[in-house]
């Protein structure tokens, strides 16, 4: 069983958005959920992926979509979102 599936099955929603309320913007187009981005960065580190490969996994890997609670047709995001999300 792929790691992302095990994470979701055993831990549920690991980083709930309520934990990241302060990280949500109040203006402009809604961004990606900080909780989802946190989980993506964890999976990215474990699988030793570049930002580009992690963003690709979100778009194409069913186990990542499942772990993130995304619809199958979710288009994902641009890889630059990850570098903007990580603390400087």
Q: What is the CA radius of gyration of the chain?
A: 13
pLDDT tens profile 48-85: 999 999 999 999 999 999 999 999 999 999 999 998 88
Q: Kindly report whether the global pTM for this prediction surpasses the value 0.95.
A: no
Measured from the Cβ of residue 15, the count of other Cβ atoms closer than 10 Å reads 18
pLDDT tens profile 12-49: 876 776 766 666 666 656 667 888 898 999 999 999 99
Helix (H) or strand (E) holding 86: none
- Rounded to whole angstroms, the Cα distance separating 60 from 15 reads 22
């Amino acid at each position: 069983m792929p790691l992302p599936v095990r994470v979701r099955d055993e831990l549920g929603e690991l980083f709930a958005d309520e934990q990241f309320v302060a990280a949500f913007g109040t203006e402009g187009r809604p961004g990606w959920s900080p909780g989802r981005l946190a989980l993506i960065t964890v999976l990215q580190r474990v699988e030793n992926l570049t930002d580009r490969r992690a963003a690709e996994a979100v778009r194409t890997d069913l186990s990542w979509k499942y772990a993130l609670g995304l619809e199958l047709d979710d288009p994902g995001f641009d890889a630059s979102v990850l570098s903007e999300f990580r603390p400087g």
